[in-house]
Amino acid sequence: MLSFKSFNTLSFPQNCTKALPLVEDQAMLFQEGTQKLLKSLENKEDPILPNFTKWYTREEDYLESVEDAKWRARIQEEELRLSINGSELQSSRRSSFLKQPILALVNDHLIEYPTPSNLNYWWGFGSLAGICLMIQILTGIFLAIHYTCHVDLAFSSVEHIMRDVEGGWLLRYMHANGASMFFIVVYVHLLRGLYYGSYARPRELVWCVGVVILLLMILTAFIGYVLPWGQMSFWGATVITSLASAIPLVGNEITYWLWGGFSVDNATLNRFFSLHYLFPFLIAGASLVHLAALHQYGSNNPLGSLSSVDKIPFYPYFYVKDLVGWVAFGIFYSIFVYFYPNLLGHPDNYIPANPMSTPAHIVPEWYFLPVYAILRSIPNKLGGVLAIGLVFVSLLALPFIHTSQIRSSSFRPIHQKLFWLLVADCVLLGWIGQKPVEDPYVFIGQFASVFFFFYFLVCMPLLGKLESSLIAFNRQNALVKKDQSVG
């Protein structure tokens, strides 16, 4: 892709001897129409041109600014300039490595993808999430080679990987800590989108697909946590799967179907292993949909403004910026893998599963704790299950209940304070989730759960209307003061 500056110095090729006369005449007419269009756009006139009407009408559905139209017109002119050079340019295009059918897709979406020039480092967590997914898939495949999916052998096979397989300890620790790294990256990615309004129109699909990916990640991590068949694995699976029994009429049948019997046993382990192998590929497919939806309208930016013209290619500019994040993430990840591999795990999971001995306190992995705290805050089992569902419904509904005319929280001081209160509330819920079910933890968890839903279901719809009223009020006051000063 040519840089934007190069469009300002475009000149139609003088040597067109290889092109047919008819093609040359049409090309000259098209160039003349393009120049008229650019001139009319600069003069803020209505660009009604016979030779350009079809293109302008088709693009008009999603052009958000006059500058965007100018940019695309120059691209059309450059593409035409390249096309009339005849078979010589066609052969060079075929010989270009990045212009081949499949690689051209990669080139358009990863290398020459037009990116807003003011993106900061928080936007790098999207690519980090993709790296984490690839690490989990690759390490999981190699671990599955040595893993034995049987209740009598699963725990021993994991210890065999750790002690006897060459490099097995590294694979296991990379996979176990990689799950935590994956959730850290995705949670930061989600909070960044929440802060800068990346869920707002026209990127509703991007946000909704991201929420679906988060749900698939939670399911994948939960069933993967069962596979080592330690004490916390077994009892965690028993507690969480038994929640399905709260569904009226068919709850018990669904629970027995999940178990493959009347309790968590070998059939359950087999099913969870199969699903744990399948879900990462579903996440990879959903990630491609997420990426395609993002590139349909382009990336948001920290200002939340239209950035149709102020764009630069992803490579090499943002590739270098992302590379800094990748290196920092690699260092952070390596510290856990090599120095504190069991810091984020639970020691009870190094005890083989024993259905006859219940742990004193059943605690899931840290990335489940906020949702687990909301579940425990409601005394009724069905109410807890509905509250978990409401968490994801609130996230999915956010783009449609958002009423603010401003995207970025950089210009929304009230939302800034509410956002950081939400972050603190999620941390508080995570702390409550690992505490015993007793006072004062129950009351604190209930209060934190109420604020979580208050933020999404009350603050987000009403705050936009309040901001609009304040903006209109300030504008009216400014007009009154101006009139008084003139008077």
Catalytic residue list contains 40: no
Catalytic residue list contains 78: no
Instruction: Tokens for 153, please give them.
Output: 């052998």
In this structure, which amino acid lies at residue 286?
Answer: A
CA dihedral 122, 126, 130, 136 (to 10 degrees): 60
Coil, strand or helix at 230 = strand
Instruction: Name the catalytic one among 68, 322, 425, 467.
Output: 322
- Determine which helix (DSSP H) or strand (DSSP E) holds 116, and give its type and residue range: strand 114-116
Instruction: Name the catalytic one among 146, 160, 321, 435.
Output: 321
Instruction: Name the catalytic one among 233, 287, 299, 377.
Output: 299
The interaxial angle of helices 125-146 and 154-163, nearest 10 deg, is 110
Catalytic residue list contains 70: no
* 3-state helix, strand and coil shares in percent for the chain, rounded to the nearest 5: 70, 0, 25
Rounded Cα–Cα distance for residues 229 and 270 (Å): 12
Coil, strand or helix at 311 = strand
Rounded Cα–Cα distance for residues 208 and 190 (Å): 11
Instruction: Name the catalytic one among 295, 381, 394, 410.
Output: 295
Chain-centre distance for alpha carbon 445: 28
Instruction: Name the catalytic one among 175, 189, 290, 365.
Output: 365
Instruction: Count other Cβ atoms within 10 Å, centred on residue 196.
Output: 21
**CA-CA distances (angstroms) from residue 244 to 154, 250, 383, 440?**
25, 9, 12, 28
Coil, strand or helix at 262 = coil
Coil, strand or helix at 115 = strand
* Cis peptide bond upstream of 359, omega within 30: no
Q: Where are the alpha helices (DSSP H) in 147-243?
A: 154-163, 168-196, 204-226, 231-241
Instruction: Tokens for 206, please give them.
Output: 């991007």
Catalytic residue list contains 295: yes
CA dihedral 431, 337, 155, 184 (to 10 degrees): 40
Rounded Cα–Cα distance for residues 206 and 115 (Å): 16
In this structure, which amino acid lies at residue 66?
Answer: V
Instruction: Tokens for 428, please give them.
Output: 């508080």
**Residue positions annotated with a catalytic role:** 295, 299, 321-322, 365
